[in-house]
Structure 1
C-alpha cells in the first residue's frame, strides 16, 4: 500500500495497492464492482421516490382490504390487476345499491324498519351495526317516508290555518263599524240623506251609469267607490247603489254621509228598507236553506276524506268560506227585484279595484244576452286555471256530465254588466230556483257550495263574453301568477280568493294596489289603526 501526499496541502489522498483484489471472495469482488458502477448521486433520488411511493402503496392496500369487507366479493378482486383503479368496485357497488333501491321501491310504503329521524342517526346506525347495502336502502326509504309525511302534514295545517284566517273580521274593521255607528247616533251630518234631495232623480235615470254593490264591508265599499271615481273620465255620470244588511246600514251610511264623494251620487240602502212581497221572502228563505244544506253536506264529505296536500287542495276549502252562506252574495240573483226602475247596471264585488275608466262598458252590445262577463281572464284563449266547469260542478253526476263540458271555462263574477230588461224577459231568477230544486231532489250533489255554480247553470246560453282586459281575477290566492303588465292594463282587478287585501294574510305584492285608495287620513281610520 502506498500513500501520496501533496506538498501543497492535503487536498488529495490516493491509496493504491497492487494486492487489493487478492484473497477476497468472488461475491465481494462483484459487490465492489457494482458499487463502483452505481454512483452515489443516484441513491438519493431513488430513496426519495421509494419514500413517497411506499406509504401510498401501504394506504392503498389497506383501503382495498377494508373496502373488500363490504363492497368487494373477495379481497383478490380489490387487490388484483385493479390495484390502481377502483372502477370495477364502484360499478359493482352501484349495481348492488341499485338492486337494493329497486327492492325497497317494490316493497311499497309498508316497511317494518325502525323510523330514523335524521341523517346523523342513519350514519350512526349503519356504522355501528355494519349493515349491508340492502339495509341502507330500506332504512333510507323509511326515513324519507317519515320526512315526507311530516312535510305534507305541515303544509296541510298551514293551508287550514290560512283558510281559517280568511274567515275572520279584523279588529280594525270591527272598530271602524262601531265608531261610525256611534257617529251616526251623535252627529246629524252622519244621518243626512243619501243622496241629497236634488240628486234623487238620478237614481232611476237611464242616462247615468248605474253601479251596484252588495256588501257589508264599509272599508271595501269606500275603496270601490273611490277607485272608480278617481279613474273615471266623467265621474258626474256615475250613480252608486250600495245595498247592505241591517247591522251595517248605519256605519255604511255614516261613512258616505261624512265623506261625500265629488260629482258622483251614492245611495246607501239597507235590506230592511225593501218592501218585498210575501212570495219573494219565501223564495229567498228557501234559497238560503238549500245553500246551507249544500254547504253542510260538502263539509261533512270533506271532513271524512283524508286527502293529501297536492299544491292545489286549498281550492277544496274555499267553498266553505262564510261568503258561500252570505245573504248579500246570493241576492245578486234578485237584482231585477232590488232595482225595479233600472234596465241596465254594472255589478261590482266589494273586493275589486277599478284602475281605468269603465264608462265604455255601459255602451257594450250584449247581443240580447243577459250578462256580459270575462271568460278567459289573463292567460289567453281557453286558459282558465282553477276556473273551469269541473271546478264548480259535479261531473260524476250523470245529469251534469251529459249536459255540460267539464273543460269549459266558467265566466267570472265580480265585474259584470247586466241587461236587466233582458233578464226580466228570460226570467233568469225563476230558472235559478228550478236548478236549486233539482239539486235538492238529486241529493245536493250537483255542485259545490258558492254563488257561481248555480249561476253557471241558470245563465247558460245567456252570457256574452267581453274582453279579458276588463277583469283580471285571482289576486286573493296565495301564489297569483298574473304578470305585472296584465295587472297594469286591467280595467278592474279582483281579489277573488281567501287573501283579501284588508286581511293580514293579504299578499303585499298586490295589496299596494288596494291600499292606495284607502283614505288613511280619515280620523276613524286612524283611530282604529287601519294601516296599509
Structure 2
C-alpha cells in the first residue's frame, strides 16, 4: 500500500530559504547546485570542518527498488538510477533510503518547544556569514571583536541547549545583543558576493550536519531493530542455565510427533517468547487441541532455552517438540550450518517516472528461507504441515486449513497481487516466468509435503540458488521461481499483514483477521514496536511467569 509521509525537514528548509532571502539580493534558483569553498573563517572556535567529498545518492532502479529488512535474514538488492541531491534525499527520498525508520520517526516525533533556540541559530547563521568580511576591515576591529565574542557566546549556549527550557535565564539579553551587533554589521559597506558565498558555504555545512544526524539516527534505529532486547537475552540465558540445573523430565511423545493424522504446525524461531506467543494464541483459539502438534525449529544457541520453556509450560492438550536444526547427528543431510529465518524485503514502486520518491508504492514481502527447504527431510512421515512465522498472532481456530483442497498445489499462501512477477523482471534475469502472476507471503502457509517431494521442490530451489548465488537477494529470486504455478491462494481474510510497519491499519480489520502478521522492522517484542498493535501480542504472554517478571519482559 502507498505510504506518503510529510517531509520532516520541509519546515527547516523553508525557514532557511526565507532567511537567505532577507539577507540580500535575490538568488538564482540553481544556486545550490554547486558547493562554494571560500571565505575562510579566521577564528579557532568558529572554523567549521571542511566539507567532505559529497557522496552519491542511493541508486534507484526505474521500476522497482527492493531493500530487505535487517531484523531477520539480510539480502540486499541495489538499483541503478541516481537521486537528485542530498537535499532531495532528506526531503523526498527518506523512506526509500532509510525505510521504516522514516515512518517510525514521523509517528514518534515530539513537539519541540525551541522557538528561541531556532532564533539563536538564525542569528548565529547570519553572524558567521558577515564575520569573515568584517574582520578584514581594519577600521572595524572593534565591531569584529564584538561579533566574534557574540558568536562564541551563542555557540557555547547552543552546545548545551536543545530546547528553550535548556537556555540560561539571561538568553534574551544575549539575543538582543547579538541582534544589535548584526544590525551594525549590515550597515557596513561590504562586497555582497562575499556574504553570499559565505552564506552558501555555511548552508552546505549545515546540510552536511543534518544529513549526518539523519544517518546516525537511522543507524541507531537499525541497531535497536537488529539487537536482541536485554530482557529477552536475560530470559534466554536464565532458561539455558535452569535447563541444566533442574533436569526436568523430557517427555518424548515420538508417536505424536510423527503421526500424519494429526495437525502439525512448524515454527522457525530463535526467539523463545515470540514462538511461545504463536503457540499460545493458536491453542487458545483452537476448538480441539488434542490433535495439535507444534514443532519449533531453532538453533544451538537457543535450543536449551526453548526446551526448558516448553517443558515448564503447557498449552492445553497440544504437544510441543523443540528441534535443533543445526544438529548434524539428528538430521544428517537435512541440516544447515545455521538457522535461517524468513527473509523480509521492502519493495517500492515509483508512481511514475517523474514523481518524487515520497509517492512510491511500498510493499513488505516475507518469503521462505533456506531452512524451509529442509522440511520434507526433517518430517519424512508427514504429508501436510502448516508453517507459522514467529511474528504472527492467531485470533481464530485454524482447523479449517487442514481440510483445504489445494488442487495439487504445493503451498497455500496469501498472494500480493500489487507486486507481480513482471514488475520484478529486472531481477529475475533470463528465467522464464508468468508476467502477471502474483508474488506471495510467508507468515501463514499450508504445505503439502507429499506433493513437494513428488515435484522435488527443494532440489529445484537449490539449483536456482546456485545459478543466482552471485546476485543479492538470491533467496527471493529462487523462491519466486521455484514456486511458479505451485501457489494456492488463501482467502485474504486469513491473514492481515503490516502490523510491523503500517501505522494506518483499520482496527476493525485487525479484530476480524484470523492471523495478524507483524511483518516489518517494528516487531511487537521490541521497544520500537507500534504501541497500538502490541496489545494483540502481549495478551498471550504469561504475565505471572517468574522468569518473565525477573527479566522485565512483561513491561
TM range, smaller chain: 0.5 to 0.7
- 1:383 equivalent among 418, 428, 439: 418
Instruction: Describe the shift of the 1:352–1:452 C-alpha distance in structure 2 as closer, same or farther (beyond 3 A).
Output: farther
Return the alpha-carbon distance in structure 2 between the equivalents of residues 489 and 438 of structure 1: 42
Structure 1 residue 237, shift from structure 2 partner: 2.9
Return the alpha-carbon distance in structure 2 between the equivalents of residues 347 and 151 of structure 1: 44
Structure 1 residue 340, shift from structure 2 partner: 0.7
Structure 1 residue 202, shift from structure 2 partner: 3.1
Mapping of residues 481-500 of structure 1, within 5 Å? 481-500=504-523
Residue 229 of structure 2 is aligned to residue 170 of structure 1: yes
| Aligned counterpart, 2:395 | 355
Structure 1 residue 415, shift from structure 2 partner: 1.2
| Aligned counterpart, 1:521 | 544
Secondary structure class of the residue paired with 2:264:
strand
Aligned residues: 384
Aligned 8 A contact 1:118 1:143 in 2:
no
- 2:277 equivalent among 211, 223, 231: 223
| Aligned counterpart, 1:160 | 219
Structure 1 residue 145, shift from structure 2 partner: 4.8
Larger RCO: 1 or 2 (CA < 8 Å, sep 6+): 2
Aligned 8 A contact 1:344 1:418 in 2:
yes
Return the alpha-carbon distance in structure 1 between the equivalents of residues 186 and 411 of structure 2: 73
| Aligned counterpart, 1:269 | 323
Q: Deviations over 1:298-352 (max 9, x none)?
A: xxxxxxxxxxx97799x9xx99xxx99xxx9521111111111111110011121
Aligned 8 A contact 2:503 2:530 in 1:
no
Aligned 8 A contact 2:414 2:441 in 1:
yes
| Aligned counterpart, 2:122 | 119
Structure 1 residue 416, shift from structure 2 partner: 0.6
What is the TM-score when the length of structure 1 is the normalising length?
0.62
Residue 293 of structure 2 is aligned to residue 239 of structure 1: yes
- 2:250 equivalent among 170, 187, 192: 192
Return the alpha-carbon distance in structure 2 between the equivalents of residues 164 and 520 of structure 1: 27
| Aligned counterpart, 2:480 | 456
| Aligned counterpart, 2:268 | 214
Structure 1 residue 389, shift from structure 2 partner: 5.7
Return the alpha-carbon distance in structure 2 between the equivalents of residues 137 and 408 of structure 1: 57
Secondary structure class of the residue paired with 2:516:
strand
| Aligned counterpart, 1:423 | 452
Residue 406 of structure 2 is aligned to residue 366 of structure 1: yes
What is the TM-score when the length of structure 2 is the normalising length?
0.60
Secondary structure class of the residue paired with 2:30:
helix
| Aligned counterpart, 1:504 | 527
Instruction: Describe the shift of the 1:109–1:180 C-alpha distance in structure 2 as closer, same or farther (beyond 3 A).
Output: same
Q: Which has the higher helix share?
A: 1
| Aligned counterpart, 1:103 | 28
| Aligned counterpart, 1:52 | none
Return the alpha-carbon distance in structure 2 between the equivalents of residues 136 and 352 of structure 1: 59
Instruction: Describe the shift of the 1:389–1:484 C-alpha distance in structure 2 as closer, same or farther (beyond 3 A).
Output: farther
Q: Deviations over 1:60-116 (max 9, x none)?
A: xxxxxxxxxxxxxxxxxxxxxxxxxxxxxxxxxxxx99x965624256233457699
Return the alpha-carbon distance in structure 1 between the equivalents of residues 282 and 543 of structure 2: 18
Secondary structure class of the residue paired with 2:297:
strand
Return the alpha-carbon distance in structure 1 between the equivalents of residues 125 and 304 of structure 2: 66
Residue 280 of structure 2 is aligned to residue 257 of structure 1: no
Structure 1 unaligned runs (5+)? Answer: 1-95, 295-308, 377-381
Structure 1 residue 374, shift from structure 2 partner: 0.8
| Aligned counterpart, 1:410 | 439
Mapping of residues 271-286 of structure 1, within 5 Å? 271=325, 272=327, 275-277=330-332, 284=336
Select between 419-428 and 246-255 the one with higher mean Cα deviation.
Answer: 246-255
| Aligned counterpart, 1:205 | 259
Residue 395 of structure 2 is aligned to residue 470 of structure 1: no
Q: Which has the higher strand share?
A: 2
Return the alpha-carbon distance in structure 1 between the equivalents of residues 489 and 467 of structure 2: 27
Structure 1 residue 155, shift from structure 2 partner: 2.1
Q: Deviations over 1:428-453 (max 9, x none)?
A: 1001111111113xxx12x426x544
Instruction: Describe the shift of the 1:132–1:223 C-alpha distance in structure 2 as closer, same or farther (beyond 3 A).
Output: same
| Aligned counterpart, 2:430 | 399
Q: Deviations over 1:13-64 (max 9, x none)?
A: xxxxxxxxxxxxxxxxxxxxxxxxxxxxxxxxxxxxxxxxxxxxxxxxxxxx
Return the alpha-carbon distance in structure 1 between the equivalents of residues 409 and 230 of structure 2: 43
Return the alpha-carbon distance in structure 1 between the equivalents of residues 121 and 550 of structure 2: 51
Return the alpha-carbon distance in structure 2 between the equivalents of residues 437 and 514 of structure 1: 38
Structure 1 residue 181, shift from structure 2 partner: 2.5
Structure 1 residue 457, shift from structure 2 partner: 2.1
| Aligned counterpart, 1:84 | none
